Amino acid sequence: MGSDEMRAEYDFSTSWPNPYAKRLKKQITIRIDEAAIGYFKQQAAEVGIPYQSLINLYLADCAAHKKKLKLAWG
C-alpha cells in the first residue's frame, strides 16, 4: 500500500485527545483601522514576530487577565 492510499478501516482504540486542541486558532475576518494595524506592525517589527501573532498575543493577554476597556461617550 502506498503512502497516499486510504485504509478501509483505522483503529483509534488506543488514541487520545489532542492536548493542544484548545489552543488552536480560528480564522476570522475583522476590520481594524489603519492606525491600529500600523502600530502593531511597528511593534511586531521591533520584536521580530508577525504582526498578526502580536495582535493575537495581546488579545489573548486581555482575555486571560479579563481586562475591561474603559469607554467614555460624549
Query: Torsion angle, CA of 45/56/59/74, rounded to 10 degrees?
Result: 70
18-31 residue pLDDT tens: 887 777 888 899 99
Give the E-state strand segments of 1-74 in sequence order: none
Q: What's the pLDDT score for residue 42? A: 98
Q: What's the pLDDT score for residue 3? A: 66
Half-sphere exposure of 20 (CA within 13 A, CB side): 2
User: The pTM is what?
Assistant: 0.64
Least confident range from 16-25, 37-46, 50-59: namely: 16-25
Residue spans per domain, the chain: 35-64
